[in-house]
Structure 1
Amino acid sequence: MSSKTTHEILAQSLAAHEVRHLFGLVGDANLFLVDAFQRGNSGQYVACHHESNAVLAALGYAQVSGRVGVATITHGPALTNVVTALVEGVRGCIPMVLLCGDTPPGDLEHLQRIGQREVVAATGAGFVEMRSPETAATDLARAFRQAALERRPVVFNMRVDLMWQPAPEAAPAVLSPPALRHQVAEDESFDEAMGMIASARRPLILAGRGAASPEAREALLALAERLEAPVATTLKAQGLFHGAPFDLGVFGGLSTPLAVDEIQKSDCIVAFGASLSRQTTESGAFTAGRRVVQILPDARENGRRTEPTLLLVGDPVLTARRMVELLDLVEIPPSGNTDADLSYRLARQREEQAALPAFAATAPGTVDYLPAMRRLDRALPPDRVLVTDLGRFVSTAWRCLPVTAPEALVYTAHFGSIGLGLAEALGAAHAAGGKTTVLVAGDGGFMLGGVGELASALRDGLDLVVILCNDGSYGAEHVQFTNRAMNPALSMTAPPDFTAMARALGAEAVCVTGPEALADAEALIANRRGPVLIELRLDPDNIPAS
């Protein structure tokens, strides 16, 4: 049996796992692995300018593609640089594998030596050690399987002193995750839940990201039609019911007035794959006094759960189908909750949303944010991928730039950090499959998140539109100061000329300082040949509250 080096075997293993994009930053502990991956022509290596951005790009890629994201970094400070990104992935339940170098165990004076297992443990990510050259492929396969099963980042720890050692060349190991046990949540609690649903006069179907597949859409809409119940989604499942006749949109803080009215009228909420967090339930206001049946694919605890009336554990698709069968079997009449009046009010709402709001007066050299975003929504392709950084601008972005499928929304706020959007947009754009990727970011987050990754997007010729909300401040802090009638000077950022900066990097860019300049932004979107930046100059004292 012939042999290759460990790093060559690892590169072959990445190919066996059908890794199409490897995001990373090379150092002495991983550069030969990346070289072997590139020479093998098994996928594209996407070089990033900061280790954190490589991990974030893999997270963005995973959210859009539905595949395990993959990134690679070297050891020591490279690992400490990615702590925030790993926590973001853990909190978001995003599967990814990080191939991370490590220092030789006997080199006690190595400058970059650190207890890497302990650092990773603090983030909540998984940790798989490459034990030897002989087990390298199997160990990496374990990391992929663990990431998929546990839905979190897993760090694959590779000692640099093993990378050039010979390893047996054999068929690369691929340990596929075992098939999940698909079952109907059918027990005593299920019978009780069916009683609640059958007796409901104003039922409502809610879908979360845990029930956001095409099969789930079909099954939940069939149940909704049988019950004559309107449907809604959590923010992260936005777009699942796009085009359905009684789609209320987002359930939670982003609900329209019509949706809030229907939620408040409901007497039974049947939630599939939704954790029922305080953001979804408006801190319990949307579920108080209502019977809530929650169906989750597994019983895993998390810190975002609100206690329902009944919790069922089972496959959302099979459970919804079984509910329809039982309703038909015992001939339960439909509720009548989706009537002509609701249809009329939804149609009126669509007409109102299509109308462009008037521009309000703002400070000289700035533009009114809400109508500006509505104009840009019309200029952008409706079938797009939306990535949002975190800031007080984000709620308006979610409302004004809706997506048509859950996988088209990349959420970067699981850890409450600003500055993650541009890197996740880089990965999302690589996974977008021909769709335009739109990033909405603030000036503070854009500076913090590594402007250099715009150069990466330009290098790769990505179809990326960056909408930069520049109010010259850290928004949350500005609000806190002004709410207390204090001087907000400490929250002001004094940002650079982002338009000139983008142009210097090679991107086309437009600065919008008033309503009349939006025509230039619309033209830039229509004629784009690669990444473009639209800088919206905003008045920090006139931005819609989140």
Structure 2
Amino acid sequence: MRVYEALGEALGKLGVDTVFGLVGGGNFSVATAMVERGGIRFHAMRHESAAVSAADGWARATRRVGVATCTQGPGLTNTMTPLVEAVKSRTSLLLIAGDTARTAQYQNQDVDQARLARAAGAGAHTLRSTELAVSDLAHALWRAEQERRPIVLSLPLDVQQGACESVDLPPASRPPATAPAPYALRAAADLLAQAQRPVVLAGRGVWYAGAADAVVALADRIGALLATSAVGNGLFVGHPCDVGISGGFASPLAARLIGDADVVLAFGASANNWTTKSRELLSNARVVQCDVDSEAIGRLHPVELGLVGDARLVAEALDTEFARRGVSQQGYRTETVMAELARYERAAEIDDRSGPEGLDPRTVMATLERRLPSERTVAIDSGHFMGWPAQYLSVTDPGGFVFTQAYQSIGLGLGSAIGAAAARPDRPTVLVTGDGGLMMSLGELETVVREGLRMVVVVLNDAAYGAEIHHFGPMGMSTALAEFSDCDFATIATGLGFRTASVRTLDDLEAAAAMAAEVGPPVLLDCKVNPRVRAAWLEEAFRLGS
């Protein structure tokens, strides 16, 4: 058999069942072998950028390694932006890229692929020989899982076409989860036992560790309120002490309660400037941070104590320690606080500014929250609007919240939504995007229809790059370069096979939301929004260097 055949077969045996990609001369044979010999479902994309974004979205929804493939040279360079997003988001992802033959003296598409991958922050690996090809593939997949980052595996064409005897997979091995040091555990328990207003802040690390139940049990014992980072949204949904997202997207109630905390216990959360609102929210608290990566502790926010270990093991060990001490306290869960949480409705605070200039985007989100099935995936592109769906569209678990904002590039949302929709065909995927971001990935609308994905695309259309309008306009600068003519996305999507609606009034919105809730072909809602509604977090975004 040829090496490319062995690789396709081996990938299936390694447990990969889904690949997103775009084929070219460098990966056509191996992609075909993935399907024919590996039994893998191949989702053909229209651009390599969307293929990597889709693998990223799929990985976030499933907690498994996302896999994408592209051809060599320009195929790989087209993936750089979503690759950086996946690096910064610590997504386990394997990108299988064709590569020019090692024997070629000159080839138009030749480029140093390993250096490109490393420049993006990804790991790089190249097939070493025909004999080691399958072992190299297995190792690259293992690295992606264990290092929690993308690995680019380059397949030189001469190695791919070489002969090999069989598909012998090396034995799989996974290191055991890291338990916390006993002395650090005791110190953390001592500190937490003194807390009067504790808050547990959980990130996506809790989701990956399967630690939500253990973290909730610990919080219940010490009387802590529950909050998440943006990407941890959905971890504690339904719990009466869940205050929601911490940071710039926090509700006024959540911001006040988190800001008044005296101890914050962070699990699997980097405590970055977005989550802490440039450290403002945690300024009054003693911070204990738990992370499986020792280098993450205290890197972005000062901490009093660090716990290195798996989130589930740490939470269980702390709960056991408190049980041994006979500790069970009310903490922050006073009658007053619990009553505030029970009656709070964020949508009730919206001062609707819908009118002749367009709809209030907050009202659009609140209406969809009421109308769409509660069991859903929400994917969000980057842009001026990005906080509103995070604030007003609820999800039932973090796998249902795909938030590609680590690199803050617009245009990645549709690809990641496709991946999430492929991962969870049992529920609708709602993509919220701006007109600017959708224009960058318009061709993937055809992919949505061709793949039969259950998707609702909501375009918050202000015919502009809204972030730049709202940031530079108040400075007295002309914003003409960021303004565009109104695009009729509904007509475009109708031609591709979507059910569509042009949403211009509140009555339009109610009718469109009702249509979107019905099962059928994918839906696109072109929502003309009021360009004068300014996001409260925008100033912070530019202050942080966006």
- TM-score range (shorter-chain normalised) is over 0.9
Structure 2: 5+ residue stretches without partners: 538-546
Percent sequence identity over matched residues?
36
Partner residue, 2:97: 100
**Does structure 1 retain, via aligned residues, the 8 Å contact 2:122–2:149?**
yes
Partner residue, 1:497: 488
> Which of residues 212, 233, 241 in structure 1 aligns to 2:236?
241
Q: How does 1:56-455 map to 2 (within 5 A)?
A: 56-171=53-168, 173-187=169-183, 189-212=184-207, 215-301=210-296, 305-332=300-327, 334-349=329-344, 352-353=345-346, 355=348, 357=350, 359-364=352-357, 366-448=358-440, 450-455=441-446
The structural deviation recorded for 1:361 is: 4.4
**Does structure 2 retain, via aligned residues, the 8 Å contact 1:88–1:414?**
yes
Pick which of 487-496 and 143-152 moved more: 487-496
**Does structure 2 retain, via aligned residues, the 8 Å contact 1:149–1:177?**
no
Residues of 1 paired with 2:297 and 2:60: CA distance?
19
Distance 1:178 1:390, change over 3 A: same
Using the size of structure 2 for normalisation, the TM-score is 0.94
Residues 1:462 and 2:457 aligned together: no
The structural deviation recorded for 1:324 is: 2.2
Q: How does 1:4-83 map to 2 (within 5 A)?
A: 4-40=1-37, 42-83=39-80
The structural deviation recorded for 1:467 is: 0.3
Residues of 2 paired with 1:80 and 1:10: CA distance?
23
CA-based RMSD: 1.9
**Does structure 2 retain, via aligned residues, the 8 Å contact 1:145–1:175?**
no
Aligned pairs, number: 537
User: 1:353-377 CA distances to partner (integer Å, 9 max, x unpaired)?
Assistant: 465956424344x222211221111
**Does structure 2 retain, via aligned residues, the 8 Å contact 1:38–1:44?**
yes
**Does structure 1 retain, via aligned residues, the 8 Å contact 2:35–2:42?**
yes
The structural deviation recorded for 1:243 is: 1.2
**Does structure 1 retain, via aligned residues, the 8 Å contact 2:463–2:487?**
no
The structural deviation recorded for 1:179 is: 2.4
Distance 1:398 1:362, change over 3 A: same
User: 1:52-76 CA distances to partner (integer Å, 9 max, x unpaired)?
Assistant: 1111111111110111111111111
Distance 1:213 1:66, change over 3 A: closer
User: 1:140-196 CA distances to partner (integer Å, 9 max, x unpaired)?
Assistant: 00100110111111111101122222111133x155342234313422x33332221
User: 1:485-505 CA distances to partner (integer Å, 9 max, x unpaired)?
Assistant: 232211103242111110111
Pick which of 523-532 and 476-485 moved more: 523-532
The structural deviation recorded for 1:106 is: 2.8
Residues of 1 paired with 2:154 and 2:60: CA distance?
24
**Amino acid aligned to 2:398:** P
**Amino acid aligned to 1:197:** L
Residues of 1 paired with 2:322 and 2:216: CA distance?
15
Distance 1:25 1:495, change over 3 A: farther
**Amino acid aligned to 1:320:** A
Distance 1:296 1:84, change over 3 A: same
**Amino acid aligned to 2:488:** D
Residues of 2 paired with 1:470 and 1:325: CA distance?
52
Q: For 1:71, what is the secondary structure of its paired residue?
A: strand
**Amino acid aligned to 1:203:** P
Using the size of structure 1 for normalisation, the TM-score is 0.94
Partner residue, 1:471: 462
Residues of 2 paired with 1:378 and 1:356: CA distance?
16
Residues of 2 paired with 1:372 and 1:324: CA distance?
42
Residues of 2 paired with 1:356 and 1:324: CA distance?
37
The structural deviation recorded for 1:323 is: 1.8
Residues of 2 paired with 1:502 and 1:116: CA distance?
36
Residues of 2 paired with 1:387 and 1:412: CA distance?
8
The structural deviation recorded for 1:380 is: 1.2
Distance 1:41 1:516, change over 3 A: same
**Amino acid aligned to 1:381:** P
Q: For 1:300, what is the secondary structure of its paired residue?
A: helix
The structural deviation recorded for 1:481 is: 2.5
**Does structure 2 retain, via aligned residues, the 8 Å contact 1:392–1:545?**
no
**Does structure 2 retain, via aligned residues, the 8 Å contact 1:128–1:142?**
no
Residues of 2 paired with 1:333 and 1:524: CA distance?
49
Residues of 2 paired with 1:102 and 1:376: CA distance?
45
Structure 1: 5+ residue stretches without partners: none
**Amino acid aligned to 2:104:** D
The structural deviation recorded for 1:20 is: 1.3
Residues of 2 paired with 1:488 and 1:151: CA distance?
40
Partner residue, 1:542: 533
**Does structure 2 retain, via aligned residues, the 8 Å contact 1:412–1:420?**
yes
